[in-house]
Every structure is written in structure tokens, then in C-alpha cells.
């Protein structure tokens, strides 16, 4: 496994586990039956942190859709540099920090971390065209 694929695997695992904390909150607030029922406008609201974490999860999925193909294209092209490895590591850590900061409700830092992740994706896109 390449180092880029390692970071992709960690990012996929992180994204795949994000539903657990806010689902636990949903069970706490609505009970198990309420959590498994179809959503309704009359549902008891979840904790604010859980709502923010759901949005962070959505954002993580949206960014994984871009990150994963970039890494896979580089892997298929057998192209790896210290910059592509660094970009993948930076992407993972920025996404993890983004989730934490988003859940805590820190808007400016959240946006800065999003931009760092975007720049890491830009490095990968440039590497595909061997600009980096």
C-alpha cells in the first residue's frame, strides 16, 4: 500500500465512523424507537453539537468524493512524491481537526481548516498533471 493510499484509507475510515456519536445522541434524545423512526418535523431536537457534527459529516463525505479519486488517479499513474504524501497527510489531519472544530462550533477556525484541506486537494490535482 502506498503512503497516499494509507492516508486515503484513514480518511475513509474516519468518514465512515462519524455517524456514530450523533446517532448515540439521537438515541439519548428520542429513545431507540424514536431514533429508528422516519424523521418528522415533530421530533425532539438533538443537541447542538450533534447537529453540527451531522453537518461536519456531510462536509466530510462531500470532500471525500474529491479526495479519493485524486489519490486513486495518482496511484493508477504510479505517481508519488514527497508532496503528494504530504498533501494526503495534511488533508487527513485538516479533516479530523475540521470535524472537531465544527462540532465545537468554532466558525472561523472551521473555515480555515476547510481551506487547508482544499489546498491539499489542489496539490494532488496539480500532481496529476505533473505540475508539482
pTM over 0.85: yes
Best CA proximity match to 98, nearest among 112, 118, 119, 84: 112
Structural domain total, the chain:
1
Segment holding 111, helix H or strand E: helix 107-128
The CATH number covering residue 103 comes to 1.20.120.550
Q: Residue 42 is part of which domain span? A: 3-128
pLDDT in tens, 76-105: 999 999 999 999 999 999 999 999 999 999
Per-residue pLDDT band for 22 (boundaries 50, 70, 90) equals very high
Which conformational region is residue 31 in: left (phi greater than 0), alpha (psi within -120 to 50 degrees), or beta? Answer: left
Residue listed under C-alpha cell 496529476 = 128
Amino acid at each position: 500500500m502506498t503512503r497516499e493510499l494509507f492516508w486515503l484509507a484513514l480518511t475513509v475510515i474516519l468518514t465512515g465512523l462519524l455517524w456514530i456519536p450523533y446517532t448515540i445522541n439521537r438515541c439519548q434524545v428520542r429513545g431507540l424507537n424514536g431514533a429508528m423512526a422516519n424523521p418528522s418535523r415533530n421530533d425532539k431536537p438533538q443537541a447542538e453539537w450533534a447537529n453540527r457534527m451531522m453537518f461536519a459529516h456531510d462536509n466530510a463525505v462531500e470532500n471525500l468524493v474529491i479526495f479519493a479519486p485524486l489519490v486513486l488517479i495518482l496511484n493508477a499513474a504510479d505517481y508519488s512524491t514527497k508532496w503528494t504524501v504530504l498533501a494526503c497527510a495534511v488533508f487527513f489531519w485538516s479533516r479530523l481537526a475540521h470535524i472537531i472544530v465544527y462540532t465545537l462550533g468554532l466558525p472561523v477556525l472551521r473555515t480555515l481548516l476547510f481551506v487547508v484541506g482544499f489546498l491539499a486537494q489542489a496539490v494532488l490535482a496539480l500532481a496529476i498533471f505533473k505540475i508539482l
